[in-house]
């Protein structure tokens, strides 16, 4: 969480590509399409890309305010192996990367955040305060992360890890919101709950109270997919998710019997990701 003065300072820089983190809603924006770009009748156009890292089956998301003079952009859950690809795309699109954000401390791959910061020093790393990880900026439930005139709202969704958050795009009448659910809610699945402070009961509560309460047409973009899915909706998952449509006791039983092997990289990934990627450590 930024100190009050710093948050106030950010809110005065309306032309800056650096996004303020604030609890105040500002600059409502109309999203017009579910395609790669979201046009706005006012002044903002959301540029959106879903990017895939195949070894860990991780999705990284690129969002930018394409109508802003400086085209401020952010990455959600970048992976170290695909940083060069992502930065090259950002350069080709003429964007200014301002934030490298993580939904949680990943256990299966090293975040690209540190590498990005070593290549683009102005980029700020962002993670939840509850994660206990080191980053430049810490978000808490209810905060809003601005990039240009657009923003992401932070929802706490612990359960896979204690510090998991879901990033949700702003509420624009008539247009679907987008929820970046990390490993909390996967398409027809959910994150495991057997390490890093995981709790099946907490994950169930997080999904039902923080994600399933969003409008049913909200688009679900998870951090992983192992079956070839790319996107879902709140309504689809409320109807067809084979785990989260069950009552809580059945869910807990399912989660206690997943019998998944530990992620191959867990011993390397978790310590590195606790500092948002080794190179990102802010002393």
Ligand X SMILES: N[C@@H](CCC(=O)N[C@@H](CSS)C(=O)NCC(=O)O)C(=O)O
Binding-site ranges for ligand X (CB under 6 A): 56, 107-108, 183, 189, 191-192, 224, 258, 260, 263-265
Considering the complex, state which of residue 170 and residue 191 has its C-beta at the smaller distance from ligand X.
191
Considering the complex, state which of residue 74 and residue 186 has its C-beta at the smaller distance from ligand X.
186
Residue corresponding to tokens 């590509």: 17
| Number of other residues whose CB lies within 10 A of the CB of residue 239 | 10
Considering the complex, state which of residue 103 and residue 149 has its C-beta at the smaller distance from ligand X.
103
Under a CB-based contact definition with an 8 Å cutoff, are residues 127 and 282 in contact? no
Q: Identify any residues that bridge with 268 across adjacent strands, giving them in sequence order.
A: none
Q: How far is the CB of 215 from ligand X (least distance, A)?
A: 26
Considering the complex, state which of residue 45 and residue 157 has its C-beta at the smaller distance from ligand X.
157
The closest of 74, 77, 79 to 62, measured between CA atoms, is 74
Q: How far is the CB of 131 from ligand X (least distance, A)?
A: 14
Q: How far is the CB of 223 from ligand X (least distance, A)?
A: 8
Under a CB-based contact definition with an 8 Å cutoff, are residues 101 and 145 in contact? yes
Give the C-alpha separation, 156 to 166, whole Å: 6
Considering the complex, state which of residue 22 and residue 200 has its C-beta at the smaller distance from ligand X.
200
Q: How far is the CB of 260 from ligand X (least distance, A)?
A: 5
Considering the complex, state which of residue 26 and residue 227 has its C-beta at the smaller distance from ligand X.
227
Give the C-alpha separation, 266 to 51, whole Å: 22
Considering the complex, state which of residue 170 and residue 182 has its C-beta at the smaller distance from ligand X.
182
The closest of 124, 181, 149, 179 to 46, measured between CA atoms, is 149
Q: How far is the CB of 193 from ligand X (least distance, A)?
A: 8
Q: Is 174 exposed, middle or buried (0-12, 13-18, 19+ CB in 10 A)?
A: exposed
Q: How far is the CB of 135 from ligand X (least distance, A)?
A: 19
Give the C-alpha separation, 243 to 281, whole Å: 37
Residue corresponding to tokens 């008539």: 174
Under a CB-based contact definition with an 8 Å cutoff, are residues 103 and 182 in contact? yes
Q: How far is the CB of 74 from ligand X (least distance, A)?
A: 22
């Amino acid at each position: 969480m930024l100190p009050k003065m710093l948050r106030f300072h950010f809110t005065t820089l309306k032309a800056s590509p650096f996004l303020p983190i604030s609890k105040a809603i500002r600059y409502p924006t109309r999203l017009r399409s579910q395609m790669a770009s979201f046009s706005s009748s006012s002044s903002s156009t959301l540029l959106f890309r879903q990017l895939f890292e195949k070894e860990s089956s991780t999705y990284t998301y690129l969002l930018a305010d394409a109508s802003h003079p400086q085209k401020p952009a952010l990455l959600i859950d970048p992976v170290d192996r695909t940083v060069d690809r992502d930065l090259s795309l950002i350069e080709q699109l003429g964007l200014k990367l301002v934030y490298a954000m993580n939904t949680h401390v990943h256990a299966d791959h090293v975040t690209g955040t540190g590498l990005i910061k070593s290549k683009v020093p102005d980029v700020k790393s962002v993670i939840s305060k509850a994660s206990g990880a080191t980053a430049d900026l810490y978000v808490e439930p209810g905060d809003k992360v601005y990039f240009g005139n657009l923003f992401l709202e932070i929802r706490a969704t612990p359960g896979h890890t204690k510090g998991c958050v879901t990033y949700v795009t702003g509420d624009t009448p008539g247009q679907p919101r987008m929820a970046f659910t990390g490993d909390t809610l996967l398409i027809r699945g959910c994150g495991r709950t057997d390490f890093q402070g995981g709790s099946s009961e907490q994950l169930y509560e997080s999904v039902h109270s923080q994600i399933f309460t969003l409008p049913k047409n909200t688009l679900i973009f998870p951090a992983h997919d192992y079956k070839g899915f790319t996107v879902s909706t709140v309504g689809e998952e409320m109807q067809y998710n084979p785990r989260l449509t069950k009552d809580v006791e059945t869910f807990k039983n399912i989660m206690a019997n997943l019998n998944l092997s530990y992620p191959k990289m867990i011993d390397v990934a978790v310590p590195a990701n606790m500092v948002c990627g080794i190179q990102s450590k802010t002393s």
